[in-house]
Amino acid sequence: MVNEDDSKLFEDSDPSKNTETSSQSIPGVSSDSGKQWASNFSTSASPPKFVSLEEIMQAANGMKNMALAHEIAVDNNFQLQKLEPGDDSIQKKVKEIMHRAFWNVLAEQLMEDPPNYTHALVLLHEICESLEDLVLPHHTKIRENLREVLDINLIKQQAENGILDFQHYSHYVLSIMAKVCAPVRDDRIHDLTQCTDVVKTFKGIMETIQLMRLDLANFTISMMRPNIVASSIEYEKTKFAEFLKVQADGLAYTRRWLLKHLTDEKIKAAAGDTNGINHITHFLLGEAYLDLLNWDSSPEAETLMLDQGRLLELRDKVNRLTIVGSVLLLCGNTIGAAVQGLADFKKNIKEHLDVLLDSIHSNKMLREVMPNIVIQINQDIKMTLNKIGAPELTQSVEAILKGQIMDLVNEDHKIRHLVNLRIRQFLQKIILSKNTVHTQVPPGLSSLQEELAAIAARFFILVAHNRSVFSEYYQEIITTEIAKRNLTLRSSEPEADSMDV
């Protein structure tokens, strides 16, 4: 796809402002990972060479395939999902009509005297082929038995002679499915064996086979995942290089994102160091990634587009967790020892704030929901104090706590700033560490250990994989910028010398 505005490589990070096409979705893959490369693909206003539409589409399709490989590499829980059309979509209505028609015709044919097995033979043939695909290669005996029993020519002869026992074949098919299916499908198959309606049984068989196909695909992915991860880095490098060939400047946003944190002081500090560029790139990338965790930031860099959804999600999680941690500290400091050591109290606060903050994506939205947070915290405190037999808060203490929590909407609030700083420092140690080391949970945030660990794990995987794929581009950008600044500095030295004279 070529966007109408060819002067801008990518649309704003707000999904509602992006043009979506059918090529954006990967069949069977969840779309919560953010925008696909194909939907953001465009030609530049001033390309360095002429490119054909075929080259552009090949690069766009390459980005789509790259997106799938990337999903598997960075998501430990990646799974294919059944693709269902929307409830009001024409595709779903057509699909329902066609399926209903098939099963109605099958039922009518089986009710004829003598029964008509035209549709039944087609169905059994399809089931036989599907089961062969689901039987693993080492299950040779099952495969041989399957081909022997579901011999379509034999079944056709039985139908012509009027001795075909269609129900017998349904029981046999279910027995094979029970042997090769994942444990999660056992109950479904057991229920089908109890069904006395032949048509409903075979309808359930076909639906279950589709689910078993997904189970097998996901099992295969899980078994091959180490190999996929190892090869995806080179694959992504190749596909991204193909993308850059049809772009005048395919790293414009990446350059802006990365060089934002490059200062003259850092350049001077690395001068004379043989590994200076490597060190600057390593730490600069860490700063750039941490900067994306601010609510006023968005991952617009071209090298981040496959992870845009994940990064926005992590950004929101970090900021929400900052508010939760701040509220817990304020409650502990204001109320005192009565609640400081109560794990249930902290757990209730976290659960209730998770619900209230779930749809919050900016500080402006936080301001709107903060009064509800104050009410919820007040209720939790009263319930806890009553449960442990402690006296209720005085009106003055209650008013102080309310004011302190309401003040958390200010981003420069001391407690909020402190909690956010500690979370960022915790994440910084993890993503900058070149060795696997245990990192201590920041002081005062031990009650958020589980949430911090989950965020850190996802953040580390994203940064590490991104470095592996795009490090050459990052290093080239920084090397070029440093050389440019040094040249500018040297060119200004004669003028400075003449002024001294």
In a domain, residue 488? The reply is: no
**Average pLDDT, integer, range 85-110:** 74
Q: Is the pLDDT of residue 30 over 90?
A: no
Same domain, 211 and 226: no
Same domain, 161 and 309: no
Q: What is the pLDDT of residues 364-420, one digit of tens each?
A: 999 999 999 999 999 999 998 888 888 888 899 989 999 999 999 999 999 999 999
Number of domains the chain contains:
3
Q: For residue 324, what pLDDT is reported?
A: 95
Same domain, 20 and 95: no
In a domain, residue 324? The reply is: yes
Same domain, 386 and 449: yes
Model confidence at 351, pLDDT cuts 50, 70, 90, reads very high
Q: What percent of the chain has pLDDT over 90?
A: 29
In a domain, residue 380? The reply is: yes
Q: What is the pLDDT of residues 259-315, one digit of tens each?
A: 998 888 887 776 656 577 888 888 999 999 999 999 988 899 999 988 999 999 999
Question: Does residue 161 or residue 27 have the better pLDDT?
Answer: 161
Same domain, 187 and 65: no
In a domain, residue 496? The reply is: no
Same domain, 319 and 429: yes
In a domain, residue 226? The reply is: yes
CA dist 238 and 231 (Å) reads 11
For 444, the domain range is 256-266+277-483
Q: For residue 253, what pLDDT is reported?
A: 93
Q: Is the pLDDT of residue 86 over 80?
A: no
Q: For residue 24, what pLDDT is reported?
A: 34
Greatest mean pLDDT range, 130-144, 181-195, 217-231, 356-370: 356-370
**Cα radius of gyration (the chain):** 31
In a domain, residue 492? The reply is: no
User: DSSP per residue over 309-367, as a string?
Assistant: HHHHHHHHHHHHHHHHHHHHHHHHHHH-HHHHT-HHHHHHHHHHHHHHHTT--SHHHHH
Same domain, 126 and 64: no
CA dist 379 and 349 (Å) reads 10
- Whether the bond into 494 is cis, omega within 30 of 0: no
Token digits for 354? 């998770």
Model confidence at 435, pLDDT cuts 50, 70, 90, reads low
Same domain, 192 and 205: yes
Model confidence at 23, pLDDT cuts 50, 70, 90, reads very low
Q: Which segments of 358-448 does DSSP mark as H helices, in order?
A: 363-388, 395-406, 414-432
* 88: amino acid identity, one letter: D
190 Cβ neighbours under 8 A, 6+ residues apart: 178
- Dihedral of alpha carbons 236, 238, 241, 245, sign: negative
In a domain, residue 85? The reply is: no
CB 331 within 8 A of CB 417: no
Same domain, 72 and 198: no
Same domain, 238 and 261: no
Q: Is the pLDDT of residue 228 over 50?
A: yes
* 208: amino acid identity, one letter: T
In a domain, residue 491? The reply is: no
Same domain, 157 and 302: no
CA dist 493 and 488 (Å) reads 9
- Dihedral of alpha carbons 404, 405, 406, 407, sign: positive
Same domain, 240 and 260: no
Number of C-beta neighbours around residue 290 at 10 A: 21
pTM of the full structure: 0.66
